[in-house]
Amino acid sequence: MSDIESVNKGFAVIPQADPSLSPDNPMQIDKPYVGRFAPSPSGPLHFGSLIAALGSYLRARAEQGQWLVRIEDIDPPREVKGASDLILKTLEAYGLHWDGAVLYQSSRLDDYQARLNSLLAEDKAYYCQCTRKQIQAMGGTYDGRCAIRTAKHTAGAIRIRNTLAIDHFDDELLGPIRVEPEFAAEDFIIKRRDGLYAYQLAVVMDDAFQGITEVVRGADLLTSSARQATLFNLFDDNAPKWLHLPLACAEPGMKLSKQNHAPAIDLKAPQASINAALAFLGQAPCDIDSVKTMLAQAVSQFELSRIPRQQEIILAPGA
C-alpha cells in the first residue's frame, strides 16, 4: 500500500456547512496565483490524470497565474522507466505548457533530510518500529506508544509529533471540510521504514518551496489536505488554498488509476479528450481546432461554479 492510499483508507470526509470551521493555519493572502500539477512517474497519463492536469491548468490561467509541473519521483519501487519523459511529452501534446523548469522531487532529498534532522533534534518527530499488524491491533490508528517510551527508538519509521491535530479546512469548491478527529490527531509517518521520504513531508516542503498558492487535485486527497495543513502550521509556512476536483471512477469507489490499468490518453488526437475532460468538469465544450486555440477558449470561458460539487463521477461504459 502506498503512502497516499494508507492516508485515505478507512476515514470519512465530512463536509460541514458551518463557515466558522476555517483553520488557524497561515494562508496565502493577496499573492500572485501559483498552481501546479504534480504527477508521480508510475505510468502514462490517463483520463483521470488529464482531469487533474486540465483542471489545475485552467484554474491557474483563468487567474492569470503561473502553472508549474513537479514530478514526484521519490518512490522508486512504484516508478516506471521513461514515465517522467512520457508525462511531459503528453502535457506538451495537449498544449498544457508549464512555466519555468520542471521540479523533480528526487533533487530535493537533502532538503527533506535536513528538515527531518531538525525535527528530531527539536523533539518534534521520533522513530517508531510499530508494524502494520500492530497498528491494526490498535484499531487501525497508531496510538503514539513509541512517543512515550522511556528508551527511545533510534531507527525505524519517523513520525511527526502531532500537537496540532488540524481536522478541518476550507475547500474552494466543496466548502468547509472536516476529517475524523482520530485521524487528525494521529502521529503520522513522515519518513518510511524503508528509508523513503513520505508523501506528506515532501509535498508540503515542495509546495512551500515553490510558493504554491492553491492546490488543485483530485478528491481522493481530501484527507491528505488536513495532514498537510498540520505540517504547514508546524513548519510556520504559508499554506495554500485547496480545491479538490471530482474523481473519474469506473464504478463507485474505484477511481481511474495506473494501478487499475486505466488506458493512456491519446497523444495523436488530443482534442476529443480535452472536450471530454471539459465536459466532466462541467465546462462548455470548445471548437475542435488546434489544441492551442481550444485551450485559449477553455480558459476564457472557465467557470469554477460549474464544476460538479461531488467527490466522484461514474463514467459511462466505454467513455
What pLDDT digit, counting tens, does each position of 59-117 carry?
A: 999 999 999 999 999 999 999 999 999 999 999 999 999 999 999 999 999 999 999 99
Residue set of the binding site: 36-40, 72, 128, 130, 142, 146, 199, 217, 258
Q: Tell me the CA distances in angstroms from 140 to 134, 160, 192, 202, 307, one per residue in order.
A: 9, 18, 17, 24, 34
Residue 153: the pLDDT is: 84
Give percent of the chain above pLDDT 70. Answer: 88
Q: Rounded to an integer, what distance in angstroms lies between the CA atom of residue 312 and that of residue 319?
A: 15
Residue 258: the pLDDT is: 65
Q: How confident is the model at residue 315 (pLDDT cuts 50, 70, 90)?
A: confident
In the chain, domain spans: 3-314
Residue 152: the pLDDT is: 84
Q: Rounded to an integer, what distance in angstroms lies between the CA atom of residue 49 and that of residue 60?
A: 17
Residue set of the binding site for Zn(2+): 128, 130, 142, 146
Over residues 183-188, mean pLDDT: 95
Residue 316: the pLDDT is: 72
Tens digits of per-residue pLDDT, 61-75?
999 999 999 999 999
2 vs 26 pLDDT, higher one: 26
Residue set of the binding site for ATP: 258
For domain 3-314, the question of CATH label 3.40.50.620 is answered with yes
Residue 212: the pLDDT is: 98
Over residues 33-40, mean pLDDT: 98
Q: How confident is the model at residue 15 (pLDDT cuts 50, 70, 90)?
A: low
Q: How confident is the model at residue 31 (pLDDT cuts 50, 70, 90)?
A: confident
Which pTM value belongs to this model? 0.89
Residue set of the binding site for L-glutamate: 36-40, 72, 199, 217
Nearest alpha-carbon partner for 222 in 3, 2, 15, 1: 15
DSSP code, position 300: H
